[in-house]
């Protein structure tokens, strides 16, 4: 039998694939792995070298603060009772607006049952009125509504109703530094079809510093939660 013209059989690997194809596949895997490792070190280098500036930018982004201007109404948002109340009082005493609005928040679960025994248990709105009264602000200058709110968007909608009913043309929004961007964007969204000037004057009584927030657990938690809410509001309400 003549074997001279027979083509030599190509060597295969353990999977039965030609060795040349197997080598190409291994070479491709090594190349991808090499680039992934390189990319990892680039990202690590950037984050290490620019970590502090990036963290500062994250902290600064949440703050929207305008130049103080006179307006028709000061809106003191709920949440941090002391910080917001003090900033609203400062704005009022500087003559920036003649009225302060503060919404009543949703009742906490169990409040009605609690009040059967503890008659004088104060709500957040009660604490607010106690603070402004202590600073000598006349009760008639404090505006509110029997409608209760549980979110920034519902507060903005309630304020819109008041503003349109009263014929106001401008308002000052007071909230915490960390909440100021979301609040400002929310009010802009709610008032987008109306010619209402919105001024953001966040409270500096909140001791939040965008240059070192990550060194304090309290403000690290506040920043993380606020970014979560900001993303949710952008998706849910297109602020």
Domains of the chain listed by start with CATH number: 61-236 (3.40.50.620)
Task: Convert the pLDDT of each residue in 115-127 to its tens digit.
Answer: 889 888 888 899 9
Total residues belonging to the chain: 239
Q: Does the pLDDT value for residue 26 go beyond 70?
A: no
Residue 75 CA to residue 7 CA, distance in Å, equals 89
> Strand order in 197-200's β-sheet?
142-143, 100-101, 73-76, 170-174, 197-200
Q: Does the pLDDT value for residue 89 go beyond 70?
A: yes
**Average pLDDT of every residue of the chain:** 88
pLDDT at position 111 is 85
Residue 48 CA to residue 53 CA, distance in Å, equals 10
pLDDT at position 146 is 93
Count CA atoms closer than 13 A to 143's CA, side-chain side. Answer: 19
pLDDT at position 133 is 95
pTM of the predicted protein model = 0.80
Average pLDDT of the residues in 7-23: 54
pLDDT at position 79 is 76
């Amino acid at each position: 039998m003549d074997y001279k013209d027979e083509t030599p059989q190509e060597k295969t690997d353990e999977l039965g694939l030609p060795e040349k194809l197997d080598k190409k596949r291994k070479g491709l895997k090594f190349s991808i792995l090499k680039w992934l490792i390189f990319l990892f070190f680039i990202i690590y280098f950037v984050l290490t070298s620019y970590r502090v500036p990036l963290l500062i930018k994250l902290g600064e982004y949440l703050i929207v603060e305008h130049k103080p201007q006179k307006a028709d109404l000061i809106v003191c948002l709920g949440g941090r009772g002391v910080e917001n109340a003090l900033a609203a009082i400062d704005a009022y005493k500087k003559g920036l607006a003649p009225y302060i609005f503060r919404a009543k928040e949703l009742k906490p679960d169990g409040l009605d049952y609690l009040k059967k025994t503890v008659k004088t248990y104060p709500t957040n709105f009660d604490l607010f009125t106690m603070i402004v009264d202590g600073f000598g602000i006349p009760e008639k200058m404090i505006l509110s509504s029997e409608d209760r709110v549980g979110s920034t968007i519902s507060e903005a909608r309630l304020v819109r109703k008041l503003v349109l009913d009263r014929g106001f043309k401008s308002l000052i929004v007071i909230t915490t530094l960390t909440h100021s961007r979301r609040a400002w964007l929310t009010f802009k969204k709610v008032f987008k079809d109306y010619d209402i000037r919105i001024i953001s004057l966040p409270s500096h009584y909140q001791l939040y510093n965008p240059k070192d927030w990550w060194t304090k657990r309290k403000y690290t938690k506040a920043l993380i939660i606020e970014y979560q809410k900001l993303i949710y509001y952008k998706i849910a309400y297109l602020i």
